[in-house]
Amino acid sequence: MARMPMTHPQMPGAAVPEAATPEDASPIGRILARAFGDDPMMRWFFPVFSGSQTREADLGRYFATLFTRQYVRHGVCERTPSAAAFWVPPGAQHEAVPDAETVEQLAEILGDRAPLFREAAAAAAGQAPREPHWYLAVLGADPAAQGRGHGAALLRSGLAKADATGLPTYLESSKAENIPFYGHFGFMVLGEVRLPGGGPPLWVMRRAPAWQAGA
């Protein structure tokens, strides 16, 4: 569920990744709500007709819940003043799966779209690679301004960690326009997954560790 990095002009600060903490949940939720505002998968989970203000607030709660209850506990989470990234390192994939309480909280936020979310999560999980790897679960930045490199800085930081372990990285892009961006960083499309229930497609992408790619 990775999103092309963008930034916000009213959020100054250098694009220097820092470790995210539980106290960052609210600002990270707001950043990601804006980042994924036009994302096809998020528009499917949170239909536009639900009301833009309510929809953005619900998206913020959704990402803050995932961050607080899942990724900040079991993943590697980094942020800049305008972007956030959630990675799951090798060996932590099972721990990073939402527990029953998290699923219940997400269902309350999603409302009648909760069954679609469960089906989509199961479909995406079925595409998980069996080889040890790093997984980019979420990458997004505020879309009000572009070109300041916040999202790219977070991506490079995570890829450096993966390269240090000699392992590949995986992601699912939920927006076709982002595929060339990830291609610039060495990701290749492995296949397309159509989410159940008439949902939008996801593109599964893999990047070999730098030493294998000859970097």
CATH number at residue 26: 3.40.630.30
pLDDT over 90 at 124, yes or no: no
Within a domain: residue 1?
no
Q: What pTM does this model have?
A: 0.87
Region 119-141: mean pLDDT is 84
**Residue 169: strand, helix, or coil:** strand
Within a domain: residue 191?
yes
User: Which domain, by its residues, includes 171?
Assistant: 18-213
Within a domain: residue 81?
yes
Within a domain: residue 11?
no
Q: Quick check: 84 and 3 in contact, CB under 8 A?
A: no
pLDDT over 50 at 210, yes or no: yes
b/e sequence 10-29, b meaning 16+ C-beta within 10 Å: ebeeebebeebeeebbebbb
Within a domain: residue 13?
no
| Domains identified in the chain, total number | 1
Within a domain: residue 10?
no
- Angle, CA of 195, 33 and 141, to the nearest 5°: 100
Q: How confident is the model at residue 7, as a pLDDT?
A: 35
Q: How confident is the model at residue 51, as a pLDDT?
A: 57
pLDDT over 90 at 159, yes or no: yes
Within a domain: residue 2?
no
